[in-house]
Amino acid sequence: MKLDERLSVIAGEVLEGLPLADIGTDHGYLGIELCKECKCPHVIMTDVSHDSLEKAKRNAAFLVPDLLKECRFEFREGDGLSVLKAGEAGTVTIAGMGGIMMADIIGADTDVSASVRRFVLQPRNNAGRLRLYLQAAGIGMVRERFAREKERICEIFVCQPGASVRAVSREELSAMDERYKSDPAFAAEADFPAYLAESSDPLVDAYLELNLNKQRRILEQIYSKSDAKGGAGFAEARVRVLEEILECRKRNS
């Protein structure tokens, strides 16, 4: 079994020698490979879907039957972090879910979240809003990684909780969400933060260019409508921020 590029990058950011909890494990390939490589002594695979967890069990039994017999895997059915106790996992991986769902999972039990040494998160969408939540909750961004997946380039967040993870109230979340939806500059800077200008990830330039071209196409579509009187503000702000980051990277290269 060989992990695809997305899972390989995630695997590379998992802390060695500590237990792993893979939330929403689905097929279980990430945890199976990390246990097989002896990077993680114990892997807890969780999923809210009974069928997905059974699939992970079958894959582990087929691919690494000896490790399964050694009880180096656990399979827990349940929602998010609810199946974990504080201190059980050194690294928690959550991949392929929406960014808002990830924020809900992390915020549902701040005691468990605060006990985690590292989160490795790969949001399927709403990456900017997840960044905002992590900052508000006191979970620091160690670095951002990127990986190709078909026609897109995925963001992968490597995060480290602070001394405590703050519970972000519904009122704060609502206010943050409202500002993201109403303030083009705020949304653009959340989606494409200025620190990407300093990133050494080999795919960061391709990621920025891909998104710049996407936002320019959106603007072209808006401008082509003769009755378009507005609606371009968010795309214009994202184009401006992306151009500034790319120009900064060129100056620094």
**Cβ-contact 222, 235 below 8 angstroms:** yes
Q: Tens of pLDDT along 69-107?
A: 787 899 999 999 999 999 999 999 999 999 999 999 999
Structure tokens at 210: 């891909």
Q: Tens of pLDDT along 210-221?
A: 999 999 999 998
Task: Please report, for residues 10, 14, 51, the alpha-carbon distance to residue 26 in angstroms, rounded to integers and kept in the order given.
Answer: 15, 18, 9
Q: Tens of pLDDT along 140-191?
A: 999 999 999 988 999 999 999 987 899 999 999 999 999 999 999 999 999 9
pTM exceeding 0.85 = yes
**Cβ-contact 153, 203 below 8 angstroms:** yes
